[in-house]
A = this chain, B = another copy of it.
Amino acid sequence: MKKSIGPKILHLPAPVWLVGTYDADNRPNVMAASWTGICCSQPPCVTVSLRKARYTHGNLMARRAFTISIPSEAQVKIADYVGMASGRNVDKYAQAGLTAVRSEHVDAPYAQEFPVVMECRLLHTFELGSHTQFIGEIVDVKVDEDALDERGVPVIAKLKPFAYLDGYRGLGDYLGDAFSIGKEIGEA
């Protein structure tokens, strides 16, 4: 039997993405966001939803560029911190011991310490209610060299990304290959 629990949001799981922007004084900022995801393959696009009150919201509207960094398990406290503190009041890069790097292709910074970064240019903004949805085109992805295999594919066991559910959780057992294990049920 199913029980109704009302129109709640369940993140089962949601990503933990770190959004990098410059503010009006060219100071690098970074915040964690989980109302995020992939939303198009061609052009390759991500969606990031932010409340208007967030400092990053104004930065993104002004610069029309951002980065998305993917933190590793060992960086979970930093990810949590940059989701709570505001760049209005504090230099989060300094406080968390992060090294700001200017993106190669877009007007936004990223932290050298996170193993993966996507450089994004803002394509669309949609007002949805409490949140503005930002759609960004991925113009480049950079990955720590030692987390790539010999074919240049990122290795999950080295990146150790994590997710946001009832708290933060690492990724666990490998359950099977996508577009493959379902063939036991029926023809594709």
**A residues engaging B (CB < 8 A)?**
1-15, 34-45, 47, 49, 51, 70, 73, 76-85, 90, 92, 95-96, 104, 112, 116-118, 123-124, 126, 128-131, 133, 135, 137-145, 148, 152, 154, 156, 159, 161-188
Contacts and interface: CB of A to CB of B under 8 A. Distances in A.
Given A42-B130, A96-B185, A129-B45, A163 B163 contact: yes
A82 B185 CA distance: 9
Contacts of A137: 7
16 contacts: A10-B154, A13-B161, A14-B38, A35-B41, A40-B128, A40-B131, A41-B131, A47-B133, A76-B181, A77-B184, A80-B178, A80-B179, A84-B188, A85-B188, A92-B186, A168-B177
Contacts of A104: 4
A11 B154 CA distance: 11
A171 B174 contact: no
Given A9-B44, A44-B7, A76-B181, A38 B39 contact: no
Nearest to A36: B37
A188 to B, nearest CB: 4
